[in-house]
């Protein structure tokens, strides 16, 4: 099993944390996104979408999507469960994970990729070039702040995002909150629910991954 990673990018960090929580070790290959290694012929054979993370299995099958990789790892090693145990837990974990991806991470990606000078013509990942749209960056920042407030509301009532147990939804949310902090977007000072959760989740050893 070979894990194609990039230490500075948020998406592969989700998998690194997941691997750490499961106690699974994988051979890691660092892909230099800054120099455009993802567009080279060798990497395109691994993932024609030119993105990381990718998990290459021993038989050559490549899973090139965070959630696909995490589901594979969960099936391979069910303990500790990170996608919920009971039917209702599984539903809530998937729901919260989707909310964080769609309302948090995607909004932050819009804010970041449509504003950073080094990403001109690279507003979306992948082999095709897309121009930046400054209005999308502004809307992304607004959506990130709104979603941080929504997370705070939820975490005032619930220890973990999907309920009583730590799950993949908490991993996705941690990566989102840290990505937003890098972009200087943080929750309001009185966001006590989010702060309590953030302190707890970032104290787990896996958060260093
Ligand atoms: N659908 C993919 C998207 C992953 C993704 O967007 N990865 C970014 C890094 S966070 C990437 O590889 N970007 C390459 C680029 O910007 O050229 C997933 O969720 O795994």
CATH of 87-208, one of 2.60.40.10, 1.20.1050.10, 1.10.10.10, 3.30.460.10: 1.20.1050.10
Q: Tell me, what's the pLDDT at 123?
A: 98
CA distance 106 to 32: 22
* Per-residue model confidence as pLDDT tens digits over 145-164: 999 999 999 999 999 999 99
Strand 62-63 relative to strand 54-56, pairing: antiparallel
How many Å lie between the centroid of ligand 1 and the Cα of residue 62?
A: 15
Using most ligand atoms within 8 A of CB, pick from 3, 8, 9, 69 the residue to mutate for ligand 1.
9
The H-or-E segment that residue 62 falls in is strand 62-63
How many CB atoms neighbour CB 95 within 10 A? 13
Domains of the chain, residue spans: 2-76, 87-208
How many Å lie between the centroid of ligand 1 and the Cα of residue 182?
A: 17
- Provide CATH code, domain 2-76: 3.40.30.10
pLDDT by 10s per residue, the chain, length 209: 999 999 999 999 999 999 999 999 999 999 999 999 999 999 999 999 999 999 999 999 999 999 999 999 999 999 999 999 999 999 999 999 999 999 999 999 999 999 999 999 999 999 999 999 999 999 999 999 999 999 999 999 999 999 999 999 999 999 999 999 999 999 999 999 999 999 999 999 999 99
Between the CA of residue 66 and those of 11, 46, 116, what are the distances in Å?
7, 15, 24
C-beta of 46 in contact with ligand 1 (< 6 A): no
Between the CA of residue 16 and those of 22, 32, 55, 130, what are the distances in Å?
10, 17, 11, 29
* Contact predicate 165/84, CB 8 Å: yes
Using most ligand atoms within 8 A of CB, pick from 5, 10, 12, 52 the residue to mutate for ligand 1.
52
Q: Tell me, what's the pLDDT at 186?
A: 97
Q: Tell me, what's the pLDDT at 168?
A: 98
The H-or-E segment that residue 4 falls in is strand 2-5
Q: Tell me, what's the pLDDT at 203?
A: 97
C-beta of 51 in contact with ligand 1 (< 6 A): yes
How many Å lie between the centroid of ligand 1 and the Cα of residue 141?
A: 19
C-beta of 69 in contact with ligand 1 (< 6 A): no
Q: Tell me, what's the pLDDT at 88?
A: 98
Q: Which residues of 52-82 are buried (b: 16+ CB within 10 A; e: fewer)?
A: bbbbbeeeeebbbbbbebbebbbeeeeeebb
C-beta of 10 in contact with ligand 1 (< 6 A): yes
Instruction: Using DSSP, state whether 203 is helix, strand or coil.
Output: coil
CA distance 154 to 158: 6
Using most ligand atoms within 8 A of CB, pick from 11, 124, 178 the residue to mutate for ligand 1.
11
Q: Tell me, what's the pLDDT at 170?
A: 98
């Amino acid at each position: 099993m070979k894990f194609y990673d990039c230490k500075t990018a948020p998406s592969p960090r989700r998998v690194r944390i997941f691997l750490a929580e499961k106690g699974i070790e994988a051979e890691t290959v660092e892909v230099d996104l800054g120099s455009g290694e993802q567009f080279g012929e060798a990497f395109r054979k691994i993932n024609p979408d030119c993105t990381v993370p990718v998990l290459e299995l021993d038989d050559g099958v490549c899973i090139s999507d965070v959630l696909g990789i995490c589901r594979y790892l969960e099936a391979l090693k069910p303990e500790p469960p990170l996608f919920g145990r009971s039917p209702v837990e599984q539903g809530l974990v998937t729901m919260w994970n989707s909310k964080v991806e769609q309302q948090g991470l995607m909004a932050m990606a819009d804010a970041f990729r449509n504003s950073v000078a080094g990403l001109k013509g690279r507003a979306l990942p992948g082999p095709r070039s897309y121009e930046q749209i400054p209005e999308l960056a502004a809307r992304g920042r607004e959506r990130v702040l709104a979603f941080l407030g929504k997370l705070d509301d939820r975490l005032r009532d619930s220890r973990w995002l999907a309920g009583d147990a730590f799950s993949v939804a908490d991993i996705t949310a941690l990566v989102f909150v840290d990505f937003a902090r890098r972009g200087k977007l943080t929750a309001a000072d009185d966001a006590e629910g989010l702060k309590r959760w953030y302190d707890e989740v970032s104290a787990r050893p896996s958060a260093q991954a």
